[in-house]
Amino acid sequence: MDKKLVIAYLGFGRAILQYHLPYSRNMENVIIKYVYRRHEDRILDPEIENDYPDLYITEDIEEIKNDPEVNLVVIGTPDATHYPYAMMFLELGKNVLIEKPISHSKKEAEEILAYAKEKGLIADVNQNRRFDGDFLTLKSVLEKGVLGDVLELESHYDYYRPNRDSSKPMYVYGMGVHTIDQMISLNGKPDRVVYDVRSMHNPGGCDDYFDIDFFYGRKKVTVKTSYYVKISSPRFIVHGTKGSLILPQVGHISEGGQSAEVFGDLSYFDENGVEHNEKVKMLDSNYGLLYENLFREIFDGQDKYIKDEELLMVLDIMKEAVDCALAQQ
């Protein structure tokens, strides 16, 4: 019998609907057996279920807990519920994929990861932005080495939302968790980190601006987001000893195939001193790659694509960033 991921989704919000189901529903090695929704959520928005007649939606979480066929539970519920749900399903012998962040507490994250290891199970986090087309393109160019030694790498993800609700949670945990993770996955642990995290709109109450610098010897990596950018910056800007790269944004999509006519700019000198000026075709985003990696981790013993130490490092950085924002009175 062919091995398959038999999935139960907890939650039916934007993350599940846009960044999971458009991919997992079309994969041959995936069976979506359950979607769990609370009764009160179904009352508030019953119509959304009409768009998914093929999915079995239940209010009874016991069905999932007691079903031995389910081998992966995707936790797409509010952040505060990630830890209890993860620990409960790990105890029941089920692998878990948790929406980012795994937790706002490093201690809880460590307990989840340690318990999964003890049980011989996989606990992964949905860092799907590692599969954005712009980030995949960045990695592809860097792997060719044509830029020489990278001296500066800037990651921008900006908005123009000057009237943002200041009661909303820290945005470092919303967007920063992805862009920080991308840079840590690419560069590893930095020698030092410098934080500028604050709110232009509500100082000390939230963050609508962050500029975090990671230093690796003479290389500087910057992760930057602002809610006050009317004309967008390039997604990535890279300068090396032999050339430069500028890439536009094509990431964060709910369907694939969006980047066929989108190009970045690459300029460099080769080993013979010949100058090259090229257009770089942007790769497509594909969040289905997350599930392909999960399949190999669960059934083939592949090493985790998102390393535990990377996940915990990102949590440490976010905690420092939030502390910085709260101090800006």
**105 vs 82: CA distance, rounded Å:** 11
2 has pLDDT over 70: yes
170 has pLDDT over 90: no
**320 vs 311: CA distance, rounded Å:** 15
Does 154 share its domain with 233?
yes
Q: Whole-structure pTM over 0.95, yes or no?
A: no
pLDDT at position 129 is: 93
The answer as to whether 62 is a domain residue is yes
Average pLDDT over the chain, rounded to whole? 91
Q: How many domains does the chain have?
A: 2
257 has pLDDT over 60: no
Does 99 share its domain with 193?
no
Does 184 share its domain with 202?
yes
166 has pLDDT over 60: no
State which H helix or E strand residue 180 sits in.
helix 176-187
> Hey, which residues does 193 pair with through a beta bridge?
214
pLDDT tens digits, residue range 16-38?
999 999 999 999 999 999 999 99
Give the residue from 175, 170, 174 showing the smallest Cα distance to 207. Answer: 170
The mean-pLDDT minimum among 142-146, 180-184, 223-227 falls in 223-227
Beta-sheet pairing, 150-156 with 123-126: unpaired
pLDDT at position 159 is: 84
The answer as to whether 297 is a domain residue is no
Does 90 share its domain with 182?
no
Token reading at 184 = 């840590």
The answer as to whether 250 is a domain residue is yes
Of 93, 125, 157, the residue at which a domain comes to its end is: 125
pLDDT at position 27 is: 94
The answer as to whether 292 is a domain residue is no
Does 207 share its domain with 257?
yes
Which phi and psi angles does 45 have, rounded to 5°? Answer: -145, 70
pLDDT at position 261 is: 81
209 has pLDDT over 50: yes
The answer to whether the Cα torsion of 47, 48, 51, 57 is positive or negative is negative
Percent above pLDDT 90 for the chain = 74
8 A C-beta contact, residue 127 and residue 100: yes
Does 140 share its domain with 279?
yes
205 has pLDDT over 80: no
Does 155 share its domain with 258?
yes
Does 45 share its domain with 135?
no
Does 152 share its domain with 278?
yes
Looking up tokens 């942007």 gives 282
120 has pLDDT over 70: yes
Domain with 223, as residue range(s), is: 130-287+318-326
Does 99 share its domain with 150?
no
pLDDT at position 104 is: 86
Of 66, 92, 125, the residue at which a domain comes to its end is: 125
Other beta carbons within 10 angstroms of residue 134's beta carbon come to: 26
The answer as to whether 53 is a domain residue is yes
Q: What is the CATH number of the domain that holds 267?
A: 3.30.360.10
In three-state secondary structure terms, 44 is helix
Task: Taking residues 128-149, report their average pLDDT.
Answer: 96
Q: What is the CATH number of the domain that holds 91?
A: 3.40.50.720
Beta-sheet pairing, 95-99 with 72-75: parallel
pLDDT tens digits, residue range 75-106?
999 999 999 999 999 999 999 999 998 988 99
259 has pLDDT over 70: no
Task: Taking residues 230-235, report their average pLDDT.
Answer: 91
240 has pLDDT over 90: yes
254 has pLDDT over 70: no
Helix extents (H) in 73-164: 82-91, 106-119, 133-144
pLDDT at position 8 is: 98
Angle at 93 between CA 87 and CA 95, to 5 degrees: 70
167 has pLDDT over 70: no
pLDDT at position 249 is: 86
**278 vs 271: CA distance, rounded Å:** 16
pLDDT tens digits, residue range 272-304?
999 999 999 999 999 999 999 999 999 999 999
Of 125, 153, 174, the residue at which a domain comes to its end is: 125
The answer as to whether 304 is a domain residue is no
